């Protein structure tokens, strides 16, 4: 519906600009004839001459913005003359249409065209991982910003593009601009929080991830990242609470299994062995192919000095993943604790053969 309306408005605008107004200068009349005949060089020449003789004619300014600067993709110049038209005569109308409405429609049209091109180029990069294509996408996005600096959506994807290019400074700069323009939206806050976290600034990241979660309280990605940030910043109690909250609202089995696994790791580090065991068990129940969860269970029992139960799970791991030397090492350790030196040596030698 939006694009249909935009096209309709654009066609209407285009028709309006061809109308011959009363009292036009000879230069402006010649310019309009050149536009009608698509003689763009002549149109530019006489539009600029018309502005010299009619310096307060907002209609001429709008025509120059559309037919001269936009055609050359000189977006800064286009916006400058559009703004001049609004400053010189904010009440001006073209065929009963306010120039503010026409200028807004022009900017929206050019922004959409360029943004879509930039996104297509960015998607080409995602498929190829060619940084030259990514730079091309960034150039397109920056031109899109020049067309309409008030569109926060552009800054957010530009921020992500710069991060993928390896320019963290620019990524954060544009990320903050996106949040400034859209402070109460999920995506800008989440994107900036992620970039800050991945760049090593966990404390600054926390503010934006907390805001993202506030906007979308049930978003499991935001909750999971928030739990990780709390842990990294030393707030383990809040980290555990946040993981538990994420588990309650997550419905996708594999994602829920990952959350249980992360909670198990956290409880292991806190020496909460029973809670760790329960979490790993839940992860394994949800995803029986998850050998990491099974390994977490074995390590939990080992750390809790429950040697027999640990050996049971190390045997299961060896059956599921017989080429992993770490499982044999784990089995060797718990057999030593049980006084089975012969068995421990046998498993240790096997781990060495596998490169452990």
Domain assignment present for 47: yes
Phi and psi at residue 92, in whole multiples of 5°?
Answer: -65, 145
Domain assignment present for 147: no
Q: Using only C-alpha atoms, what is the Rg of the chain? A: 32
Residue bearing tokens 């149109």: 43
Query: For position 163, what pLDDT does the model report?
Result: 96
DSSP annotation of 252: S
Domain total for the chain? 1
DSSP annotation of 250: -
Domain of residue 61, CATH code: 1.25.40.10
**Angle in degrees, CA 15, 18, 23, rounded to 5:** 135
CA 106, CA 78: separation in Å to the nearest integer? 10
Copy the structure tokens of residue 236. 């383990």
CA 157, CA 115: separation in Å to the nearest integer? 10
Across the chain, what does the average pLDDT equal?
89
**Angle in degrees, CA 237, 238, 241, rounded to 5:** 90
Query: For position 2, what pLDDT does the model report?
Result: 35
Give tens-digit pLDDT for 198-218.
Answer: 999 999 999 999 999 999 988
Give tens-digit pLDDT for 14-73.
Answer: 444 444 444 579 999 999 999 999 999 999 999 999 999 999 999 999 999 999 999 999
Give tens-digit pLDDT for 266-305.
Answer: 888 888 888 988 998 898 899 887 888 888 888 888 888 8
Tell me the whole-structure pTM to 2 decimals: 0.71
Domain assignment present for 280: no
8 has pLDDT over 80: no
Domain assignment present for 36: yes
- In terms of C-beta distances under 8 Å and separation of at least 24 residues, what long-range contacts does 81-88 make, across chains too? 82/106, 82/107, 85/58, 85/59, 85/61, 86/58, 88/55, 88/56, 88/58, 88/61
Q: Which domain holds residue 88?
A: 1-123
Domain assignment present for 356: no
């Amino acid at each position: 519906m939006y694009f249909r309306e935009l096209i309709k408005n654009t066609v209407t605008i285009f028709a309006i600009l061809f109308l011959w107004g009363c009292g036009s200068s000879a230069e402006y009349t010649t310019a309009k004839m050149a536009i009608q005949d698509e003689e763009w060089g002549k149109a530019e020449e006489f539009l600029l001459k018309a502005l010299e003789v009619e310096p307060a004619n907002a209609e001429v300014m709008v025509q120059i913005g559309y037919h001269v600067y936009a055609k050359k993709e000189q977006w800064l110049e286009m916006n400058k003359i559009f703004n001049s038209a609004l400053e010189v005569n904010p009440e001006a109308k073209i065929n009963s249409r306010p120039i503010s409405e026409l200028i807004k429609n022009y900017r929206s049209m050019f922004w959409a065209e360029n943004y879509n091109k930039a996104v297509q180029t960015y998607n080409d990069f995602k498929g190829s991982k060619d940084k030259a294509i990514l730079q091309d996408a960034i150039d397109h996005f920056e031109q899109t910003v020049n067309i309409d600096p008030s569109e926060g959506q552009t800054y957010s994807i530009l921020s992500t593009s710069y991060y993928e290019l390896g320019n963290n400074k620019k990524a954060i700069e544009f990320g903050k601009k996106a949040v400034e323009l859209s402070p109460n939206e999920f995506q800008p806050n989440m994107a900036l929080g992620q970039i800050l976290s991945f760049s090593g600034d966990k404390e600054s990241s926390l503010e934006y991830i907390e805001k993202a979660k506030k906007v979308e309280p049930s978003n499991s990605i935001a909750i999971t990242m928030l739990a990780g940030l709390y842990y990294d910043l030393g707030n383990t109690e809040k980290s555990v609470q946040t993981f538990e909250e994420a588990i309650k609202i997550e419905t996708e089995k594999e994602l829920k299994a990952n959350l249980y696994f992360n909670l198990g790791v956290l409880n292991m580090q806190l020496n909460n062995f029973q809670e760790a065991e329960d979490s790993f068990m839940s992860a394994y129940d949800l995803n029986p192919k998850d050998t990491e969860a099974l390994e977490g269970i074995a390590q939990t029992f080992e750390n809790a000095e429950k040697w027999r139960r640990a050996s049971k799970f190390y045997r299961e791991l060896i059956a599921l993943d017989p080429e992993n030397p770490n499982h044999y090492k784990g089995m060797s350790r718990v057999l030593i604790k049980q006084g089975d030196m012969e068995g421990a040596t046998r498993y240790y030698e096997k781990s060495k053969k596998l490169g452990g």
